[in-house]
């Protein structure tokens, strides 16, 4: 009965399909007639405007009043998180890039850097350190300029480096810099292979920020 009321035959669709936002594929509407942008997690939906089934989303009417639209949610009611247009399940670990690793947690996500966020101070053997991107490697590395390499060789020839046990030291992680959405926490620690004090950062997310109300096209 709903299909007979909303679905018109033959189909009359726009010549040019709509341009969808990232993470929203083109799918057939509920009538199987025209191509539309699939609704994403948390967006309004109804019989015509379907959710992205490839992400395991269905139109949830449990919290909708009579005659109103539903909301795209996971079929098994599990919480998830959306990053760069892709939906991840609760507890799923993912890497948005080679420099960071994240875990979906309680509708948000926690991330840790995979690259060492250190600060190298000038030393006698390397008075002008510089951090550069190395081709074929994800994380930047510290190097000394070519003009300083002879200082390093001379220092090693005069007195070979003495390896001493490193006593670990570090501060507690600071509070997250953002009350909602993505922020970062910092600490100072010497827990690295050089036993050198450095400022370390890691991403944090206390809770997701409230979503802006999405525009919902009227059903004709």
| 218 occurs within a structural domain | no
Cβ(95)–Cβ(84) below 8 Å: no
Q: What pLDDT, on a 0 to 100 scale, did the predictor assign at position 213?
A: 52
**What pLDDT, in 10s, does the model give residues 25-82?**
999 999 988 999 999 888 899 989 999 988 888 898 877 676 678 888 877 655 677 7
**Model pLDDT, residue 159:** 44
The residue segments making up the domain with residue 126 are: 119-145
Residues 71 and 51 in one domain: yes
- Classify residue 160: in a domain, yes or no: no
**CATH number of the domain to which 26 belongs:** 4.10.40.20
Q: Are residues 99 and 129 in the same domain?
A: no
Same domain for 60 and 132, yes or no, is: no
- CA separation for the pair 185, 187 (Å, rounded): 7
Q: Pull the structure tokens for residue 86.
A: 């892709």
Q: Which residues contact 159 (CB under 8 A, 6 or more apart)?
A: none
Q: How large is the average pLDDT for residues 137-155?
A: 65
Kindly report the pTM of this predicted structure.
0.38
């Amino acid at each position: 009965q709903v299909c007979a009321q909303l679905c018109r035959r033959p189909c009359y669709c726009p010549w040019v399909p709509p341009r969808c936002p990232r993470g929203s594929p083109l799918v057939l509407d509920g009538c199987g007639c025209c191509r539309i942008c699939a609704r994403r997690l948390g967006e309004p939906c109804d019989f015509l405007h379907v959710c992205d089934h490839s992400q395991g989303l269905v139109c949830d009417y449990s919290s909708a009043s009579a005659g109103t639209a539903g909301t795209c949610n996971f079929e098994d009611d599990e919480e998830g998180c959306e990053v760069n247009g892709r939906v991840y399940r609760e507890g799923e670990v993912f890497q948005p890039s080679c420099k960071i690793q994240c875990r979906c947690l309680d509708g948000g996500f926690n991330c840790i850097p995979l690259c060492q966020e250190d600060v190298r101070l000038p030393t006698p053997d390397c008075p002008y350190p510089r951090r550069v991107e190395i081709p074929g490697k994800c994380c930047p590395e510290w190097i000394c300029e070519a003009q300083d390499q002879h200082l390093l060789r001379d220092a090693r020839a005069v007195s070979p480096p003495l390896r001493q046990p490193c006593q670990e030291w570090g501060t507690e992680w600071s509070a997250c810099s953002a009350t909602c959405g993505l922020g970062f926490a910092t600490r100072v620690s010497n827990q690295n292979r050089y036993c050198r004090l450095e400022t370390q950062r890691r991403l944090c997310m206390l809770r997701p920020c409230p979503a802006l109300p999405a525009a919902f096209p009227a059903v004709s």
